[in-house]
Structure 1
């Protein structure tokens, strides 16, 4: 009896530890990443802050996050100035100068287009999650549907009534790397999960799958609230409904 109680107590302690670990680990990792990001920004911004405005010069301890606050204020100020005519003219002048530099103009142009696409509100980023049969028949890979815009690729390879769609196939566990593919629309199986859920599925290597919404069960044509009329009967009401409807009328 004592051995059973001891085993039960150890099992309970183990479960408590695992529960605490599940709660604390994400918080600790998130705090570490946030603290590292704040420290990285501070290390870049604080050296350029004048000593009279830098609290680290007259306080006995450093102020974490001050550089990040200054960076956010400066970025917002630049955005405000760029929104008017004078600021926009200065930005256009700087872009023309960069456009004359062979290597720099390619890097700047690509980065600008990526940021404008990601941060725009036009919905040109990834819109849906889907599946394509890759790398062979019977094996399915998760993809993000990128765009259905008319491009030269569509004009060259488009089949009548079955347009090509740009999809991005991310790699596990880093979804920022992957493959760009053009797939016929008829070969893509669209999913109901969000882009965020798809990214979680990829990062976790399939361990964190989004919850599937329960399908509505009907009983004699009437929707049953909560899915099932009687949980103890399982799917029995749905089967009895189909059986009754399949009997011939006398």
Structure 2
């Protein structure tokens, strides 16, 4: 039997070629499977991001409209039965007219406020308050509610100087909490000079997520760190539990744009007249 020639690849070379081909085929299949996984993952990620974006856009609008619709229906159910049949359009229209009670309530409150500004209105209001203040139990509830309403109206007015946000160390050192500065402490509390401090501020520290509840604190002015954020921005932080923070960069851009506009106005006003 003749020995194999030098140019004959032999069985080993054949096996090596087959193994190399199998390795390339396996690598190609793995890459194909890997690419399919990445494509599927990207598609799922895009669908999830699109869903969350739609939820962020539609969710607040839907909840706001639902709350407003409920308030309108509640006011209508309270005021419409008090209207005479002639002035109630629900008696002769084939469908109920939503919002009529809200309009009547706004007009009525405006008229009451206008009438209370004259002598007759002030006399009627004073007589009603005198009667409420002399009724047991009722006077306590009425007095507390009146103070709350007056405080809210005074602190939300455009000319109010108490719309300030600050921070105090609470509940312990090196732990800071947001507070709303409602005014300077007066009366018996100021005269008591707790801790020897004379210059006290009255602040309200709301609890997270449930802002109507909180703590009323009387703090020395030196212990309050005032912030430049608005009451609305601070309320967003409290309501979101610290998730939503004010956009400082956007605020600086707005301030810079306002300052630039004001400087242009000043330069224009300084031009000499022709």
Structure with greater helix share of residues: 2
Query: Is 1:5 the counterpart of 2:39 in the alignment?
Result: yes
- What is aligned with 1:45? 79
Give matches, 1:59-208, under 5 Å: 59-120=93-154, 121=157, 123=160, 126-157=162-193, 163-208=199-244
The structure-2 alpha-carbon separation of the partners of 1:56 and 1:77, relative to structure 1 and needing over 3 Å to count, comes to same
Cα distance, 1:81 vs structure 2: 1.4
Cα distance, 1:212 vs structure 2: 2.0
Give matches, 1:223-242, under 5 Å: none
Counterpart secondary structure, 2:244: coil
Counterpart secondary structure, 1:41: helix
Counterpart secondary structure, 1:183: strand
Please give the alpha-carbon distance, in whole angstroms, between the structure 2 residues aligned to 1:96 and 1:162: 35
Counterpart secondary structure, 2:87: coil
Cα distance, 1:184 vs structure 2: 1.4
- Which of these two proteins has the greater Rg computed from alpha carbons? 2
Please give the alpha-carbon distance, in whole angstroms, between the structure 1 residues aligned to 2:251 and 2:120: 57
- What is aligned with 1:242? none
The structure-2 alpha-carbon separation of the partners of 1:172 and 1:215, relative to structure 1 and needing over 3 Å to count, comes to closer
Query: Is 1:57 the counterpart of 2:94 in the alignment?
Result: no
Counterpart secondary structure, 1:52: helix
- 8 Å contact 2:237–2:245 — kept in the other structure? yes
Cα distance, 1:4 vs structure 2: 2.5
- What is aligned with 1:27? 61
Please give the alpha-carbon distance, in whole angstroms, between the structure 2 residues aligned to 1:13 and 1:138: 44
Cα distance, 1:39 vs structure 2: 0.9
Structure 2: where are the runs of 5+ without partners?
A: 1-34, 258-274
Counterpart secondary structure, 1:59: coil
Aligned CA-pair RMSD: 2.3
Cα distance, 1:19 vs structure 2: 0.8
Cα distance, 1:6 vs structure 2: 2.5
Structure 1: where are the runs of 5+ without partners?
A: 217-224, 227-250
The structure-2 alpha-carbon separation of the partners of 1:214 and 1:14, relative to structure 1 and needing over 3 Å to count, comes to closer
- 8 Å contact 1:162–1:185 — kept in the other structure? no
Runs of at least 4 residues off by over 6 Å: none
Give the length in aligned residue pairs.
217
